[in-house]
């Protein structure tokens, strides 16, 4: 496996929400399944703590929303 692929996989497993430990991979999965921000927050705990993940969640929704 190339280093570039490993870097991409690692990035997907990084926590977007530090409070809940929710990864980028999990959030993208839920967005692709059609969940809105409220549902993603309820299912993962993201966006329900300190609010530091707000910008990242907005970006992920813009990129991955069908």
Q: What pLDDT is stored for residue 10 in this prediction?
A: 74
Measured distance CA(27)–CA(13) in Å, rounded: 10
Measured distance CA(45)–CA(53) in Å, rounded: 11
Beta strands in the chain (DSSP E): 15-17, 22-23
Using 50, 70 and 90 to split pLDDT, how confident is the model at 66?
low
Residues 5-42 have pLDDT tens digits of 555 567 899 999 999 999 999 999 999 999 999 999 99
Decide which of 2.30.30.360, 1.10.3210.10, 1.10.3720.10, 1.10.10.1100 is the CATH code for 3-64: 1.10.10.1100
Output the pTM of the full model: 0.83
């Amino acid at each position: 496996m190339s280093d570039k692929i490993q870097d991409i996989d690692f990035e997907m497993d990084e926590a977007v929400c530090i409070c809940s430990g929710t990864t980028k991979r999990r959030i993208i999965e839920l967005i692709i399944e059609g969940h809105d921000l409220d549902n993603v927050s309820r299912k993962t705990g993201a966006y329900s703590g300190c609010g530091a993940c707000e910008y990242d969640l907005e970006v992920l929704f813009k990129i991955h929303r069908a």
